Structure 1
Amino acid sequence: MPTDHQPLVTVSNVSKHFGKEHALKNVSLSIQPNEVVALLGENGAGKTTTIGTLLGQLTADFGQVRVFDHPAGHWAAKQQMGVMLQSAALPDNVKVIEQLRLFASYYPNSIVLEDVLNTALLTDLQHRKVQTLSGGQKQRLLFAMAIIGNPRLVILDEPTVGLDATARREFWRCIRALAAQGASVLLTTHYLEEADALSDRIVVLSKGQVVAQGVPEQIKAKLGGKCVRFRSNVSPEEIRKLLPDTKVQNRGDYIEVYSSAPQTHLKALFTAGISTQDLTVSGISLEDAFLHLTQPTVSSESTANIQEIA
């Protein structure tokens, strides 16, 4: 991921209010050339508001948004962007190729139709009418419409929501192909596996604030190197007292300990005579880290950790 070029997008200390509600609070982030950035957050975290400010649909109350070194919403910036939003309608009684030819006519330097069809996995569907396409195929058509203008930056807002596992992975192939061709991508998604598989960098929003950003492995490392999982007849509170420097939580019938030194912590458990059943030690998943960052426990330790990350 290049770092020696001017960012395509710079969001600097942006805040946005809707009445008394703080949708964004001092949000700062950037998107570099040839970079795939995943913007993660629970519902209401501020993802859609962030995209709205990037597109110039919303005006920040405080802070600054620059896109291709222009103010957000500037015509010169729009000419270099492609957007696929959650809510989009398609005409039913037209063919795929007809819809793409129409959109290609809107841009002075559009991509060759055959290349767009290939990138979006639509070559075999180009003569099908839109009304005959499946949900996943329609999403790929919307993706093709977003990229046909040969944009340097593509914004994909929840592009695979509602798709089955097969259709979602087909869409992943489309995004990888786009990134391989040199475009930058801003992706919002609720599928953490998707963010882990596709992104060069992740930005996590919670309650309108950036609580972490970095490559996926850095996000996971915030929580610790391993997850020690087991069932026990002792309470999580007892485990916390024994291992005060770790995050301990319940998940169903299991206790989970997030640890950067699992051997040391396991030795402490065994030395203290703590009984364990179904013990496993595994790597931290992005889901674990995301839940830790966006749904902290009430403990002061968790709160302090979040403040440090932010």
Structure 2
Amino acid sequence: MDMATQVIARLDGARKQYGTVQALAGLDLDIHRGEVLALLGANGAGKTTAISLLLGLAIPTQGNAELFGQLPHEIVARRRIGVMLQTASIPDNNTVQELLELTRSYYPQPRALDDCIRLAGLQELLKRRYGKLSGGQQRRVQFALAICGDPELIFLDEPTTGLDIESRETLWNAIRSLVAQGTAVLLTTHYLEEAQALADRVVVIHNGREVAQGTVDEIRAVVSEQRIRCRSLVSQEQLAAWPGVHEARVVDGRVELIVEDAASVLRWLLSLDPTLDELEVTRAGLADAFLALTRDSQETH
């Protein structure tokens, strides 16, 4: 079987009810070996519940959850995963090196200590106590702990929250390195540029249901909108009133338009302001597609 098509974790028609609240409404989800799957959705969409089912922290009300062909709570399956959730209970008084060595001791064949340190960029933090680290530094330690067991599948729930740009790039490069070695990653993130940079496949959920699935380009293609940026003397009010302009705003002195047909809008705009400059036309990004998909889903339910 091709590694890219080998399913190592799945939800099959998973429903989860908490009292009168339906957190998942029949979600199907497959995670393939050696891919980054980005699970996107607004707060309350069902992302955390889906992860909880795959980790064995909750049981589906209906449907099934599998991890390496077994029930997710089985220890033999759990030993093959790494987890970095949004919150973590880690002893404050241990040094970073002590935490890494302790976590590695739980696994029969852990990842090399130097490898964990390098991938997470912890070289300067080993002697520091965890409780004395900044929030961003603690997130880097949590990532290192998640990969200590040399997992085949890593769950990364908002992994770069609180990280500066350099640390975020370090983590992105580490994720790419792990995936190149055959590791699978389930990523949830509110930074849609992060999903766009890392994901091989994207699943968008809303109200516990899948509303779209595909590559980043396939998700972006569902939205036909284009974005125009330029410097123009035409007022924001006049731009917003023009047919075919869905949104108009001014950011740092530049006009930003969301339009259906960039060519026709540009012809009109140039007729009003032949002096416009710094023109840039791009198609919809993942963020635009995500907003459109979740908006359309809300309107149909």
Q: Same fold (TM over 0.5)?
A: yes
Taking the TM superposition and a 5 Å limit, the aligned residue runs for 1:124-135 are 124-135=124-135
Give me the CA root mean square deviation.
2.9
Take 1:105 and 1:4, find their aligned partners in 2: how far apart are those partners? Answer: 31
Amino acid of the residue matched to residue 161 of structure 1?
A: T
Deviations along 1:202-241, one digit per CA (max 9) or x if unpaired, are: 11111111111111111111102733568562765x725x
Taking the aligned partners of 1:45 and 1:251, their CA distance within structure 2 comes to 29
The amino acid of 1:153's aligned partner reads L
Q: Does 1:41 align with 2:41?
A: yes
Gaps of 5+ in 1: 241-247
Contact map agreement 1:155 1:185 (CA 8 A) in 2: yes
Cα pair distance change 1:257/1:114, threshold 3 Å: closer
What's the counterpart of residue 79 of structure 2? 79
What is the distance in 2 between the residues matched to 1:5 and 1:289?
A: 26
Which residue of 245, 250, 253 corresponds with 2:247? 250
**2:14 matches 1:14:** yes
Match of 1:245 in 2: none
State yes or no: 1:233 paired with 2:230: no
The range that moved more, 129-138 or 140-149, is 129-138
Q: Secondary structure at the match of 1:60?
A: coil
Instruction: State how far apart, in whole Å, the 2-side matches of 1:222 and 1:40 are.
Output: 16
Q: Which moved more, 1:186-195 or 1:282-291?
A: 282-291
Confirm or deny: 8 A CA contact 1:41 1:205 kept in the other structure. yes
- Measured in 1, the distance between the counterparts of 2:125 and 2:239 equals 59
| CA shift in 2, pair 1:3/1:112, >3 Å | closer
Corresponding residue number in structure 2 for 1:244: none
**What amino acid is aligned across from residue 188 of structure 1 in structure 2?**
T
Instruction: Give how far 1:112 is off.
Output: 1.4
CA distance in 2, matches of 1:287, 1:296: 14
How does 1:39-188 map onto structure 2 within 5 Å? 39-188=39-188
- The one-letter amino acid of 1:140's match is R
Residues 101 and 235 of structure 1: is their aligned pair in 2 closer, same or farther, counting only changes over 3 Å?
closer
Does the Cα contact within 8 Å between 2:227 and 2:256 map onto a contact in 1? no
SS at match of 1:98: helix
Q: Deviations over 1:17-43 (max 9, x none)?
A: 112211111111111110011111111
Q: Is the 2:153–2:183 Cα contact (8 Å) retained in structure 1?
A: yes
Aligned to 2:284: 284
Q: Secondary structure at the match of 2:91?
A: coil
> Partners of 2:171 and 2:83 in 1: how far apart?
15
Asked if structure 1 preserves the Cα contact closer than 8 Å seen for 2:4 and 2:33, the reply is: no
Q: Which blocks of at least 5 consecutive residues in structure 2 are unaligned?
A: 231-235
| Structure 1 pair 125–202 and aligned structure 2 pair: CA distance change class (3 A) | same
CA separation of 1:48/1:227 partners in 2, compared to 1, >3 Å: closer, same or farther? same
The amino acid that maps onto 1:250 is E
SS of the residue 2:296 aligns to: coil
Question: 1:56, CA displacement in angstroms?
Answer: 1.0
Contact 1:233 1:275 (C-alpha < 8 Å) held by counterparts: no
Distance 1:296 1:250, change over 3 A: farther
For 1:60, give the aligned amino acid.
P
Q: How many angstroms does 1:121 deviate by?
A: 1.5
C-alpha contact (below 8 Å) 1:119/1:178 kept by paired residues? no
Amino acid at match of 1:186: L
Q: Aligned-pair distance for 1:89? A: 2.6
Q: Distance in 2 between matches of 1:8 and 1:41?
A: 22
What's 2:233 paired with?
Answer: none
Whether the aligned pair in 2 keeps the contact of 1:82 and 1:153 (CA below 8 Å) is yes
Paired residues, number: 289
| CA-to-aligned-CA distance 1:241-283 (integer Å, 9 cap, x gap) | xxxxxxx632546784454x6446766x68xx99998875212
Q: TM-score, with normalisation over the residues of structure 1?
A: 0.82
**Structure 1 Cα separation of the partners of residues 179 and 4 of structure 2:** 18
Distance 1:75 1:35, change over 3 A: same
Counterpart secondary structure, 2:27:
strand
Residue type at the aligned position of 2:246: Q
Report the CA distance shift for 1:4/1:92 in structure 2 as closer, same or farther (over 3 A). Answer: closer
Distance 1:138 1:4 in 2: 32
Query: Match of 1:28?
Result: 28
User: How far off its partner does 1:287 sit?
Assistant: 0.9
Identity of aligned residues (%): 40
Q: Which residue of 1 aligns with 2:223?
A: 223
SS of aligned partner of 2:124: helix
**How far, CA to CA, are the matches of 2:54 and 2:150 in structure 1?**
18
